[in-house]
């Protein structure tokens, strides 16, 4: 089962993180949490890994509607958006596909909410890809 939507960008990691934050804001999502995987693994395990950050994105009206449809959905909230370095000058953006909400729970009421969230996030990714080529 595919559970992410993703895009590769021909831009450096730091720029991809900045553009992803802006793209999420433009799509109506706020970033509630962030986990710097590289820094965390260095601190906890003293290992070096490529740069990667998890942005916990939330769109309040989607979150509220999803919780009304099935309170268990909270276990996969906020929506994780991962920005990873992909070589020296590239980046990869991966987002948990909101469509998985209905699949995980079987709650049909989540379908329209997930479809709207997915459309916004897919449009954001498309915009990032288009903007990266400019």
Domain boundaries, the chain: 4-132
Rounded Cα distance between 131 and 134, Å, is: 5
Q: What is the pLDDT along the chain (134 residues), one digit of tens a residue?
A: 789 999 999 999 999 999 999 999 999 999 999 999 999 999 999 999 999 999 999 999 999 999 999 999 999 899 999 999 998 899 999 999 998 988 889 999 999 999 999 999 999 999 999 987 65
Strand order, beta sheet including 91-96: 4-9, 91-96, 79-85, 52-58, 30-36
Q: Residue 59 — φ and ψ, nearest 5°?
A: -120, 110
The highest-level CATH class for domain 4-132 is alpha beta
pTM for this one?
0.92
Rounded Cα distance between 38 and 50, Å, is: 6
């Amino acid at each position: 089962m595919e559970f992410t939507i993703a895009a590769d960008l021909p831009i450096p990691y730091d720029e991809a993180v900045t553009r992803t934050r802006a793209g999420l804001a433009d799509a109506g999502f706020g970033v509630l949490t962030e986990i710097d995987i590289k820094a965390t693994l260095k601190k906890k395990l003293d290992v070096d890994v490529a740069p990667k950050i998890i942005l916990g994105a939330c769109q309040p009206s989607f979150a509220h509607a999803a919780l009304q449809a099935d309170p268990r959905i909270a276990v996969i909230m906020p929506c994780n958006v991962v920005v990873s370095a992909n070589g020296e000058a590239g980046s990869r953006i991966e987002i948990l596909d909101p469509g998985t909400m209905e699949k995980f729970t079987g709650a049909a009421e989540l379908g329209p909410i997930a479809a709207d969230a997915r459309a916004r996030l897919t449009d954001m990714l498309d915009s990032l890809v288009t903007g990266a080529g400019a």
